[in-house]
Amino acid sequence: DAKTTQPNSMESNEEEPVHLPCNHSTISGTDYIHWYRQLPSQGPEYVIHGLTSNVNNRMASLAIAEDRKSSTLILHRATLRDAAVYYCILRDRGTSGTYKYIFGTGTRLKVLA
């Protein structure tokens, strides 16, 4: 299974940008890079995904390295509500052909007021 590596925790000040890195050196050519976040006692929430090009949406931006072995989730202005565990996931294709999500340890983001 393709694996991802993320820092265990990061801190940011409110209203400032946050760059959350993810390494995925064993990514295959057809793996999508997905980012989710999980608030306490809730299920994960979709943030953004991409394949090769950088992506933007209302929540965040995703910067993907040219060799696709790493990516960075960018929150342009962190708010207290962005405090969560952020997971970088490669869409893994199981032996049955079903695409599965394999979660790594994630990054716990703390936002300081």
Partner 1 sequence: GAVVSQHPSRVICKSGTSVKIECRSLDFQATTMFWYRQFPKQSLMLMATSNEGSKATYEQGVEKDKFLINHASLTLSTLTVTSAHPEDSSFYICSARDFGQERYTFGSGTRLTVV
What is the C-alpha separation between 93 and 91, in angstroms, rounded?
7
Residue 8 and residue 61 in contact, taking contact as beta carbons nearer than 8 Å? no
Using alpha carbons, list the distances in angstroms from residue 24 to 27, 58, 72. 6, 25, 11
Rule CB under 8 A: is residue 30 a binding residue for partner 1?
no
Rule CB under 8 A: is residue 28 a binding residue for partner 1?
no
Give the footprint of partner 1 on residues 71-110 (CB under 8 A): 87, 94, 96, 98-106
Rule CB under 8 A: is residue 52 a binding residue for partner 1?
no
What is the C-alpha separation between 69 and 88, in angstroms, rounded?
12
Nearer to partner 1, 17 or 102 (CB): 102
Nearer to partner 1, 17 or 94 (CB): 94
**Footprint on this chain of partner 1 (rule: CB under 8 A):** 32, 34, 36, 41-46, 49, 87, 94, 96, 98-106
